[in-house]
Amino acid sequence: APTGPGTDHATDDPFTADRTNWFRQDRFGMFIHFGAYSNLEGEYKKADGSVCRDAEWIQRQCDIPKAEYEKQAATFNPADFDAKAVVKAAKDAGMRYIVITSKHHEGYAMWPTKVNDWNLRDHSSFDKKRDILAELKKASDDAGIKLGFYYSIWDWHDPDFPDPATFPKYEKRMRAQLKELVDNYDPALLWFDGEWDTDKPNNPWTAKDGEKLEAYLRDLDPDLVINNRVGKRRVVDGDYGTPEQEIPGAPVDGQLWESCMTLNGHWGFARYDTNWKSSSTLVRNLLSTTSRSGNYLLNVGPDARGRVPQPSVDRLKQMGDWLRTSGQGEAVFGARYGGLVEEPSWGSVSRKGDKLYAAVTQWPASGAALHLKARTDFRVTSARVLGSDQKVTVTKSGDGIDVKPSGAATNDTATVIELKVDPGPTARPGKG
Q: How far is the CB of 188 from ligand H79 (least distance, A)?
A: 18
Nearest CB to ligand H79, comparing residues 152 and 410: 152
d(CA 211, CA 6): 8
Which of 244, 253, 314, 399 is in the footprint of ligand H79 by CB under 6 A? 244
61 near ligand H79 (CB under 6 A): yes
d(CA 361, CA 340): 20
The count of C-alpha atoms lying within 13 angstroms of the C-alpha of 9, restricted to the half-sphere facing its C-beta, is 19
**Can you say whether residue 332 is alpha, beta or left, with left for phi > 0 and alpha for psi between -120 and 50 degrees?**
alpha
| Dihedral pair phi/psi, residue 374, rounded to 5° | -80, 140
Q: Is the dihedral of CA 16, 18, 24, 30 positive or negative?
A: negative
Nearest CB to ligand H79, comparing residues 132 and 260: 260
Q: Is the Cβ–Cβ distance between 223 and 265 less than 8 Å?
A: no
193 near ligand H79 (CB under 6 A): yes
Q: How far is the CB of 260 from ligand H79 (least distance, A)?
A: 5
Which of 24, 27, 39, 56 is in the footprint of ligand H79 by CB under 6 A? 56
Nearest CB to ligand H79, comparing residues 226 and 394: 226
- Name the one range near ligand H79 by CB under 6 A: 49-57, 137-145, 250-258, 385-393: 49-57
Nearest CB to ligand H79, comparing residues 34 and 126: 34
- The CA radius of gyration of the chain, in Å to the nearest whole number, is 23
- Name the one range near ligand H79 by CB under 6 A: 54-62, 90-98, 133-141, 163-171: 54-62
Which of 174, 213, 260, 349 is in the footprint of ligand H79 by CB under 6 A? 260
Q: Site size for ligand H79, by CB under 6 A?
A: 8
Q: How far is the CB of 61 from ligand H79 (least distance, A)?
A: 5
The total of other beta-carbon atoms located within 10 Å of residue 8's CB is 10
314 near ligand H79 (CB under 6 A): no
Q: Which residues make beta-bridge pairs with 44?
A: 52
For residue 121, give the DSSP letter.
T
Q: Which residues make beta-bridge pairs with 416?
A: 359
d(CA 19, CA 373): 35
Q: How far is the CB of 317 from ligand H79 (least distance, A)?
A: 24
Interface contacts to ligand H79, rule CB under 6 A: 54, 56-57, 61, 193, 244, 260, 267
